[in-house]
């Protein structure tokens, strides 16, 4: 399943990430982690003190990946102007329309629905920090768009940022419930149409 070049700790972390996504914390047993990673019990406990430590490493990796993926579509900053290198609308559209495993759901959103993870401060913290970062990043981009007259005047940047995150997470739920990514795509198109009325909404890569 994994590359032969991956170290045992890497295989264990990746196995835990996948199991948390698919089964949740309770369903992710040490035995299941070992089987998926192709590692023995002794090897697992040589590198990690137990399931909680592995879960912390896996969640940290998952949230780091979400940030990196989001930043890749939201774009960098122009050093001359201090603002984003593309239009705010295009960067938000790129984030909303990027390729996703829609029917599998969001790996970070899945964590927020797991009561065992939310009840553990050390497991919950990176999830909260990542979602706060995403809302903050989007808030800044929406503010740039307002200053450039890309969006309808009077919009509250923080409210719109939360709406964007809620549209993505709610879209996953609707898509999984219907068994089709069409519901996710419809929510994205609707939000983009509301952000900039009259502008052509780009198609999803799934269409």
Q: Which residue has the tokens 């519901």?
A: 183
**pLDDT for the residue numbered 206:** 59
Considering only CA atoms, which of 65, 64, 48 is closest in space to residue 13? 48
- For residue 206 the two structure tokens come to 């799934």
Cα gap 98→107, rounded to integer Å: 15
Residue 161 has pLDDT above 80, yes or no: yes
**19-28, 68-77, 96-105, 182-191: least confidently modelled range:** 68-77
Q: 89 is written with which tokens?
A: 């609308």
pLDDT at 202 over 80: no
Q: What is the pLDDT of residues 71-109, one digit of tens each?
A: 999 985 443 444 445 899 999 999 999 999 999 999 999
pLDDT by residue (tens digit) across 126-157?
Answer: 999 999 999 999 999 999 999 999 998 899 99
Residue 37's pLDDT is what?
94
* The predicted structure's pLDDT at residue 1: 62
Q: How far apart are CA 102 and CA 100, in angstroms?
A: 5
Kindly report, as residue ranges, where domains of CATH 1.10.10.60 are found in the chain. Answer: 1-48
Lowest mean pLDDT among 36-50, 64-78, 175-189: 64-78
Domain with CATH 1.10.357.10 in the chain: 62-195
CATH code linked to domain 62-195: 1.10.357.10
Q: Which residue has the tokens 């497991």?
A: 123
Return the number of other C-beta atoms located less than 10 Å from residue 85's C-beta.
Answer: 12
Is 1.10.10.60 the CATH number for 1-48?
yes
């Amino acid at each position: 399943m994994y590359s032969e070049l991956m170290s045992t700790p890497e295989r264990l972390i990746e196995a835990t990430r996948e199991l948390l996504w698919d089964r949740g914390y309770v369903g992710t047993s040490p035995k299941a982690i070992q089987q998926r990673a192709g590692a023995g019990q002794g090897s697992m406990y040589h590198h990690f003190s137990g399931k909680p430590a592995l879960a912390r490493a896996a969640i940290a990796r998952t949230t780091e990946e979400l940030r990196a993926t989001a930043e890749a579509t939201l774009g960098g900053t122009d050093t001359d102007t201090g603002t984003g290198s593309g239009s705010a609308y295009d960067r938000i559209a790129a984030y909303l329309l990027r390729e996703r495993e829609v029917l599998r759901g969001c790996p970070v959103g899945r964590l927020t629905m797991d009561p065992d993870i939310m009840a553990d401060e050390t497991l919950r913290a990176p999830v909260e920090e990542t979602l706060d970062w995403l809302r903050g990043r989007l808030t800044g981009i929406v503010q740039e768009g307002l200053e450039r007259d890309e969006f309808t005047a009077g919009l509250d940047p923080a409210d719109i940022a939360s709406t964007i995150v809620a549209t993505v997470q709610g879209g996953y739920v609707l898509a999984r419930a219907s068994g089709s990514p069409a519901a996710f795509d419809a929510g994205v198109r609707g939000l983009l149409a509301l952000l900039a009325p009259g502008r052509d909404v780009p198609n999803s890569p799934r269409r």
